[in-house]
Structures are given as structure tokens and as C-alpha cells.
């Protein structure tokens, strides 16, 4: 049966299939970005055990200790859950998957001035969606460029196998894993305006720059999704959610993968 696109153009669909990623402009309106920003500004002054544990002391020097990423905010905040199930995002995902999407994870990055970036990696190493793959929807809450730590992608690596990572440079990356791009392929910056959403395949190699500015945050709201026909996912990402907010329980994908027990596949991405 031939799938008929409902939201994307044929050109956009081909861009995603050929390059592994796609930017869709303006999927979030200014008032929606303001609601997200205000919600996470309030969260930034609190501690939510297991999800957000900042160092609120006046002596803190590492910007990422004061502003760590918020993990799974949809599990304790209804605004985060609402925007994880943002209809314009789900419509794009339906066209990319050619079936409904299931929401698996949400995150919020403050990326304050001076914050380290994230070494190149592959998302489905962590989510382990099978059969099928995860897709990320990376929303720019602030405009993102090379100076304030934009995302980096290695085009056409969506067909590159999930590989066992090496250790990253802790001076530049706040995460420990690093995936080396294939020979002759380089990471390129993704420049985005506030409200734009970057969609990318779970095998695509990607990461981010350090925030080199002195006064600009690079806030982003990031969610991961699985295709409705998937049956397995890593334990950390269960339960998943349908568009109406109802829960879906996929089978837990066990430890292992390309690394055996050398690396922890359930590392919170």
C-alpha cells in the first residue's frame, strides 16, 4: 500500500531519507516557546530527585552542575508531557515513519554560557528500538548556532551500523561516549531559529559544540520517539505514550548490543 504524505513535501521526505535528518521551520509558535521557557525556568530553581539535581550553592563553578539537563520531565510535569505530544511534531513523525509515532523520552537542555558540548554518538545505541528505529525531535527554544553550541550532524550516517563507542574528551563533552565518523565524513553544524525542529534518524551520528558565548543560553527541548510497530525498547524509556496520552508498554530490550557489558546501553541519553 502506497503511503500518502499528510504534512511533509516529497522533497522533505527525501531529504530525511537521503541525509538522515530534516529541519522543519516554525513548528512551535512564540507563545508555546514562552510557556516551555517559563516552565523550565521554574524547574531550574528546584530539585527533582532522579530527574533534575542541580547544584544550587553559590560556590558552584561548572555551569552544567548548576544547569544539568532535565531528564524525562514528562514524568513529573504536564506542560512537558503536552509538548512531547505536540501535534505538529507528531504529524511530521507520522510522515517519516509512515505510521503513528510513540513518545519514549523527553529532555530539556539549558546549555548555559561556557557549558561543554556532547561528543558524537548514535541515539539508538541507548533506546534500542526494534524493529524499526527511534527518531529524535530536537526543538530550538533559543536560536542555535556555532557560537552558543549548536547541534552537529554527520550527514548520510543514518545507514551506518550502531557501533560500540570509544571514550570522549571530558574537557569538551559532558558525556563519556564518542562515535568516530566514517572515513572522509565530517560533522557539520545545524543552525536553527527558535521554534524550528530538527528530526533525525536514530543511527545518525551527531553531537554538539561547547557554548563559547558569555551571555547566551542554548535551550532546547528534545524528545525521542519509536514507530508504532516497534515491539522492543530499553527499560529506561518505558512506558511510551500514544498521541492521546495513553500508555504503551513495549517489551524490554535486554543489555548487550554491540558492546556486550563494556558499555552500559541504558546510559540516560
Q: List per-residue pLDDT tens for the chain, 269 residues long.
A: 899 999 999 999 999 999 999 999 999 999 999 999 999 999 999 999 999 999 999 999 999 999 999 999 999 999 999 999 999 999 999 999 999 999 999 999 999 999 999 999 999 999 999 999 999 999 999 999 999 999 999 999 999 999 989 999 999 999 999 999 999 999 999 999 999 999 999 999 999 999 999 999 999 999 999 999 999 999 999 999 999 999 999 999 985 555 654 444 444 55
Tens-digit pLDDT profile for residues 181-195: 999 999 999 999 999
Q: Is residue 265 part of a domain?
A: no
The pLDDT of residue 261 is 46
For the record, the C-alpha cell of 49 comes out as 530527585
Q: What is the CATH number of the domain that holds 235?
A: 2.60.120.620
CB 199 within 8 A of CB 21: yes
| Bond into 131 cis (ω within 30) | yes
The pLDDT of residue 132 is 97
Q: Is residue 133 part of a domain?
A: yes
Q: Is residue 3 part of a domain?
A: no
Q: Residue 148 and residue 50: Cα distance in Å, rounded?
A: 27
Q: Is residue 269 part of a domain?
A: no
Count of structural domains within the chain: 1
CB 222 within 8 A of CB 57: no
Tens-digit pLDDT profile for residues 46-66: 999 999 999 999 999 999 999
Q: Is residue 157 part of a domain?
A: yes
Q: Residue 106 and residue 117: Cα distance in Å, rounded?
A: 19
Segments forming the whole domain that contains residue 161? 20-46+63-259
Burial (CB < 10 A; 0-12, 13-18, 19+), residue 2, is exposed
Tell how strand 206-208 and strand 151-153 pair up: antiparallel
Q: Is residue 53 part of a domain?
A: no
The pLDDT of residue 17 is 98
Q: Is residue 104 part of a domain?
A: yes
Q: Is residue 193 part of a domain?
A: yes
Amino acid at each position: 500500500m502506497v503511503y500518502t504524505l499528510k504534512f511533509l513535501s516529497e522533497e522533505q521526505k527525501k531529504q530525511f531519507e537521503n541525509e538522515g535528518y530534516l529541519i522543519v521551520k516554525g513548528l512551535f509558535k512564540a507563545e508555546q516557546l514562552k510557556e516551555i521557557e517559563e516552565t523550565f525556568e521554574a524547574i531550574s530553581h528546584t530539585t527533582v530527585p532522579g530527574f533534575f539535581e542541580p547544584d544550587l550553592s553559590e560556590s558552584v563553578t561548572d555551569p552544567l552542575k548548576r544547569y544539568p539537563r532535565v531528564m524525562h520531565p514528562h514524568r513529573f510535569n504536564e506542560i512537558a508531557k503536552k509538548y512531547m505530544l505536540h501535534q505538529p511534531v507528531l504529524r511530521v513523525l507520522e510522515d517519516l515513519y509512515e505510521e503513528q509515532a510513540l513518545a519514549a523520552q523527553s529532555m530539556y537542555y539549558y546549555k548555559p554560557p561556557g557549558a561543554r558540548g556532547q561528543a558524537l554518538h548514535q541515539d539508538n545505541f541507548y533506546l534500542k528500538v526494534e524493529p524499526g528505529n527511534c527518531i529524535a525531535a530536537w526543538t530550538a527554544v533559543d536560536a542555535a548556532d556555532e557560537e552558543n553550541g549548536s547541534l552537529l550532524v554527520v550527514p548520510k550516517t543514518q545507514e551506518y551500523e550502531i557501533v560500540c563507542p570509544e571514550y570522549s574528551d571530558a574537557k569538551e563533552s559532558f558525556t563519556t561516549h564518542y562515535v568516530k565518523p566514517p572515513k572522509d565524513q565530517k560533522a557539520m553544524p545545524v543552525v536553527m531559529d527558535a521554534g524550528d525542529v530538527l528530526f533525525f534518524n536514530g543511527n545518525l551520528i551527531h553531537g554538539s559544540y561547547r557554548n563559547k558565548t558569555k551571555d547566551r543560553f542554548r535551550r532546547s527541548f528534545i524528545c525521542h520517539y519509536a514507530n508504532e510497530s516497534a515491539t522492543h525498547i530499553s527499560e529506561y524509556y518505558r512506558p511510551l505514550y500514544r498521541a492521546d496520552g495513553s500508555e504503551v508498554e513495549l517489551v524490554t530490550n535486554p543489555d548487550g548490543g554491540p558492546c556486550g557489558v563494556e558499555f552500559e546501553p541504558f546510559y540516560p541519553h
